Amino acid sequence: MKLFAVICALCVALCWGMYGPTLANARSPNREWGPFKPYIFIGVAYVVIAIIGGAIMMKVAFNDNFDYTGKYQPAMKWGFLSGCLGALGALALTFSLTKAGGKPSYVMPIVFGGAVTVNAIAAYLTLHKGETVNPLMWLGMAMVALGICLTAGYTPHGHPPAKPGAAPHADASSQADGASQGDPPSLEKH
């Protein structure tokens, strides 16, 4: 494993892991705007960062050209398809975290655990004749599924936002043991 590649991958995990919680902050507390109002600026950010960042990296890091004809056409075709998949994923994630009512605490583990599994299946389907897969890959996929369930089930979900004019309340039993309705189940014996 190359250390720099791992560091870059960790940066991706940090950025994408914070995507859901950050997007959750873009919700209107009183439905003053629709759930896709922030998505427009997600697109603006994609365009600005992808075009400016990509152009800088092409020129500075690789001294590449800006030709997309002939032998360079696959870069355009597959790059566009990759961008479409990324944007469609962001669109579905935006819908999941807004209009569909999902919470980052369980949506994000499903997204990233699912992405690892889809990546493994895609790699499996592109094997050449005679190549085999280590059975541990299947075990890893099962462990990812278990990890998704455990992470989603035991991540604190926080408290729902208070409705305007509503007084906060808690029932007597939750006040007695110090727990609130939004807390994950306790493993302690009472």
pLDDT score for 114: 87
Confidence of residue 181 (pLDDT cuts 50, 70, 90): very low
Residue 91, classified by CB atoms within 10 Å of its CB into exposed (0-12), middle (13-18) or buried (19+), is: middle
How far apart CA 171 and CA 10 sit, in angstroms, is 42
pLDDT score for 175: 43
Q: Is the pLDDT of residue 186 over 80?
A: no
